[in-house]
């Protein structure tokens, strides 16, 4: 029996005709789908969907427009392309969502507020130092001078600068508590 005749009998609900049609077209359907989809498991799934569609919609087959095999392969190609497009679109959606929902590892506003509070706290503690201690600490830590350079800029002995620094840093540590 020809494939076109089998398709007509399948359209009438003949299960035996469908079994024979299935045996004839399942290989070409899977081969076509496999070339388009490329993934074996996905290809098997798409081929099964196509053959189920053939069973359900065999009445739409029109022998005047082409052979049963070409109709089935057209269904298979369309379904395979749809699967590829669907997978691509899903991947693109996931990437867009990942980009959209990407949150930094920290809360930038919170970090800025905390940094501002810490700066204010350090300023208040610096204000509690003597003018000489504050001058030495500021030159060393904010302006980046070495102890020797601070001594030269202030025209003081290095030992005096070291003592001011030690005393000033001790007072800062005590003022800041566990923060420093």
Sign of CA dihedral 137, 123, 128, 135: positive
Average of pLDDT values for 34-55?
95
Residue 68 CB burial class (10 angstroms; 0-12, 13-18, ≥19)? buried
What confidence tier does 14 reach under pLDDT thresholds 50, 70, 90? very high
What pLDDT score does 16 carry?
97
pLDDT digits (tens, 9 = 90+) for 82-122: 999 999 999 899 888 887 776 655 667 777 777 778 888 88
Phi, psi of 146 (to 5 degrees): -80, 165
What pLDDT score does 143 carry?
84
Work out the number of other CB atoms within 10 angstroms of the CB of residue 157.
10
CA distance 61 to 24: 17
What pLDDT score does 103 carry?
62
Sign of CA dihedral 155, 156, 162, 168: negative
What confidence tier does 126 reach under pLDDT thresholds 50, 70, 90? confident
State the first-to-last Cα distance of the chain, in angstroms, to the nearest integer. 91
pLDDT digits (tens, 9 = 90+) for 132-174: 899 988 888 888 889 999 999 999 999 999 999 999 899 988 8
Q: The pTM is what?
A: 0.55
What confidence tier does 180 reach under pLDDT thresholds 50, 70, 90? very low
Work out the number of other CB atoms within 10 angstroms of the CB of residue 24.
17
């Amino acid at each position: 029996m020809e494939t076109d005749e089998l398709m007509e009998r399948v359209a009438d609900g003949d299960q035996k005709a469908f079994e024979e049609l299935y045996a004839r077209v399942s290989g070409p359907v899977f081969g076509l789908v496999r070339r388009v989809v490329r993934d074996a498991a996905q290809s098997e799934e798409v081929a099964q969907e196509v053959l189920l569609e053939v069973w359900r919609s065999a009445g739409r087959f029109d022998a005047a427009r082409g052979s049963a095999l070409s109709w089935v392969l057209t269904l298979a190609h369309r379904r395979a392309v749809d699967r590829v497009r669907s997978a691509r679109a899903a991947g693109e959606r996931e990437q867009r969502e990942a980009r959209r929902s990407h949150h930094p590892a920290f809360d930038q506003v919170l970090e800025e507020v905390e940094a501002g509070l810490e700066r204010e706290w350090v300023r208040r503690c610096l204000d509690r130092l003597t003018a000489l201690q504050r001058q030495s600490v500021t030159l060393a830590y904010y302006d980046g001078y070495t102890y020797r350079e601070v001594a030269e800029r202030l025209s003081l002995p290095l030992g005096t600068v070291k003592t001011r620094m030690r005393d000033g840093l001790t007072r800062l540590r005590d003022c800041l508590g566990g923060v420093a």
